[in-house]
Chain A
Amino acid sequence: MIINGVHIDETFAEAFPMRATRVIVTAQNLKWAYHAAQAMTGFATSVIACGCEAGIERELGPSETPDGRPGVSALLFAMGGKGLAKQLETRAGQCVLTSPTSALFAGIDEGEQIPLGKNLRYFGDGFQISKRIGGKRYWRVPVMDGEFLCQETTGMIKAVGGGNFLILAESQPQALAGCEAAIEAMRKIPNVIMPFPGGVVRSGSKVGSKYKALPASTNDAFCPTLKGQVRTELSPEIESVMEIVIDGLSDADIAKAMRAGIEAACGLGAANGIRRISAGNYGGKLGPFLFHLREIMA
């Protein structure tokens, strides 16, 4: 399959089951909502060493937030419910509770409920106030700028992590331009995040390493500077490869985002150095969700 001169490999991306939640961070204005949400979703690129994968899903207007202020929604993913609850609590406590004018609400009502303000409330040292509004419990925690308002719990649901595709280009700037175009298109798709910096990963990994302590190591088959040293997957003209990783609330959400991203990258086409689209395929060992590139783009 070739789209605008870009070869789509006959391969698939492998993804695995995760647990996810959505939270809504509001503040006096969008700038401060972003400060809180960016801090909360920082250092959350990969579950390999971050504990969770998280990112900002989209901006919310005042009419879309519970307290009528501007806000952003963020998605957090982890391999298990316990880990997700721990990460959410730590990050909310360190990054949202501390951020001026912020408030924190559940973005998913269904599913198992995990603590949001349930334990953070103790920061109020006994001066915290509970309010039940519309059947939901909120906590008002007195803080130095006024009150930190936080919903007691948020819903946790089953989700999918690790959807991905690779953009292979003739040069590093061209690979990055392809990724930027893809990310811009993918940010418009709801229920997904691309957790890596700017949505792009340059350090794609394979499972395992020659060093026993490491669970993952560089994907040498796609490293252009190792073309002559290893069994490479790259043809001579490929000088740079970048990956886009997608976590979604369902496999359909990931497929939709992948299609939008690949379409946008292919939009630049071979004329702009984008030569191939491939995917992280681990022979079916990584997870049960397989995203066949050609089926997605058909």
Chain B
Amino acid sequence: MTALTFTLKSPLQQRLDVSPLVPDVLLGKSEKEIALLPLQYGNRRIAAAELFDIEGSDAESVCISGSPKLDFAGRAMTRGALKIEGDAGAYLGMQMKGGRLCVSGSAGLYAACELKGGLVEIAGDTGDLLGAALPGNKKGMSEGIVIVRGSAGDRVGDHMRRGSILIEGRAGAYLGARMTAGTIAVRGDIGPCAGYAMKRGTLLLYGSSSAIGATFNDCGLHTLGFLPLLLKGYEGLNTCFSDPQARCARVRRLAGDLSVQGKGEILLVA
């Protein structure tokens, strides 16, 4: 069986909500039912077949041609695989609970926001508020793994609660702001105000960081036993963080944010 593939007939003029195009919804549906599936396109609802050429039959493995206007891809999905060929818009993988979501291009704002499980992989860059809580909410990403091969915007992991975000490129300002727990690892440089108001959790930084806030105190250089275990957990994800040689790194531990609870940590790889 070949992957159920949705190819855009023409470039999108409006923003398109593709949240119904996930294995959970598509499994068990006939070709006709899939073709008639209503999608929110701008301010109107439109049948999927009007926007997409639909091929293939394996609804466990869905492929959608990308566009920066393609919003809510993989929203609340719990199983299977979803691949976006190209860019994705905002709210990629929002509240996703399981399965694997891959984007071969970049993603917009609020990618993996309030993620509850599964794996989100973005080959390009991503916008602000990756893995964050939706506006007004206080629980960001609470489980799962997010891999960004490129760079991420500001406020990555805002209000993050659990899970891992692995960024192979750079990250913007306010990394891990208001984090409750979880792990964010960044290979490249990061912007200012990392860990602002973080209560618990770990920021694992490999690149140079802008000045860390005065509310983080230096706890010295350490070889931490949990790091090899943590990095071994990323084995099979094909990221630079799972490199066996990097597992025994020594880190400088900064505890904070002391203006709130102070139980979080920024680990600067020596």
B120 to chain A, nearest CB (A): 17
A133 contacts B229, C-beta separation under 8 Å = yes
- Given contacts A129-B263, A146-B223, A147-B224, are A138 and B181 in contact (CB under 8 A)? no
Q: Residues of A contacting B200 with CB < 8 Å?
A: 129
B226 contacts A140, C-beta separation under 8 Å = yes
Q: Is the interface of A mostly helix, strand, loop or mixed?
A: strand
A66 to B263, CA, bound (A): 25
A132 to B163, CA, bound (A): 8
- Among A122-153, those with CB < 8 Å from B are 127, 129-134, 138, 140, 146-147, 149
- Given contacts A68-B247, A129-B263, A131-B183, are A147 and B225 in contact (CB under 8 A)? yes
A103 within 8 A of B: yes
Return the contact of B162 from the options A68, A103, A132, A140 (Cβ within 8 A).
Answer: A132
Q: Is the interface of B mostly helix, strand, loop or mixed?
A: mixed
Counted as pairs of residues, one from A and one from B, with CB atoms less than 8 Å apart, the total is: 44
Nearest opposing residue in chain B for A65, CB measure = B229
A140 to B265, CA, bound (A): 13
A109 within 8 A of B: no
Nearest opposing residue in chain A for B232, CB measure = A68
B226 contacts A147, C-beta separation under 8 Å = yes
A236 to chain B, nearest CB (A): 60
Q: Count residues of A near B (Cβ-Cβ below 8 Å).
A: 16
Query: Which one of A127, A130, A133 has the highest number of Cβ atoms from chain B below 10 Å of its Cβ?
Result: A133
- Among B32-52, those with CB < 8 Å from A are none
One digit per residue, 1 when the CB lies within 8 angstroms of any chain A CB and 0 when it does not, for chain B 192-228 equals 0000000010100000000000000000001111101
Q: Residues of A contacting B249 with CB < 8 Å?
A: none
- Among B16-74, those with CB < 8 Å from A are none
- Among A142-195, those with CB < 8 Å from B are 146-147, 149
Query: Which one of B200, B202, B230 has the highest number of Cβ atoms from chain A below 10 Å of its Cβ?
Result: B230
A233 within 8 A of B: no
Nearest opposing residue in chain A for B222, CB measure = A146
Q: Residues of A contacting B226 with CB < 8 Å?
A: 67, 131, 133, 138, 140, 147, 149
B229 contacts A66, C-beta separation under 8 Å = yes
A120 to B12, CA, bound (A): 57
Query: Which one of B183, B226, B229, B232 has the highest number of Cβ atoms from chain A below 10 Å of its Cβ?
Result: B229
A127 to B264, CA, bound (A): 10
Q: Residues of B contacting A140 with CB < 8 Å?
A: 224-226
A67 contacts B233, C-beta separation under 8 Å = no
Nearest opposing residue in chain A for B224, CB measure = A147
B224 contacts A146, C-beta separation under 8 Å = yes
B247 contacts A130, C-beta separation under 8 Å = no
Nearest opposing residue in chain B for A142, CB measure = B219
A140 to B253, CA, bound (A): 14
A147 to B228, CA, bound (A): 13
A146 to B219, CA, bound (A): 11
One digit per residue, 1 when the CB lies within 8 angstroms of any chain A CB and 0 when it does not, for chain B 236-253 equals 000000000001000000
B228 contacts A68, C-beta separation under 8 Å = yes
Nearest opposing residue in chain B for A66, CB measure = B229
Q: Residues of A contacting B265 with CB < 8 Å?
A: 129
Nearest opposing residue in chain A for B261, CB measure = A126
B224 contacts A138, C-beta separation under 8 Å = no
- Given contacts A68-B247, A130-B181, are A146 and B233 in contact (CB under 8 A)? no
Q: Residues of B contacting A134 with CB < 8 Å?
A: 233
A67 to B232, CA, bound (A): 8
A146 to B225, CA, bound (A): 8
Return the contact of A131 from the options B223, B230, B232, B263 (Cβ within 8 A).
Answer: B230
A97 to chain B, nearest CB (A): 13
7 extra interface residue pairs, beta carbon distance < 8 Å, beyond A130-B181, A133-B233: A68-B229, A129-B200, A133-B229, A138-B226, A140-B226, A146-B224, A149-B226
User: Mind listing 30 A-B residue pairs with CB under 8 Å?
Assistant: A66-B232, A67-B225, A67-B226, A67-B229, A68-B228, A68-B247, A103-B225, A127-B263, A129-B202, A129-B263, A129-B265, A131-B183, A131-B202, A131-B226, A132-B162, A133-B226, A133-B229, A133-B230, A133-B233, A138-B226, A140-B224, A140-B225, A146-B222, A146-B224, A147-B222, A147-B224, A147-B225, A149-B225, A149-B226, A149-B229
A interface with B by C-beta (< 8 Å): 66-68, 103, 127, 129-134, 138, 140, 146-147, 149
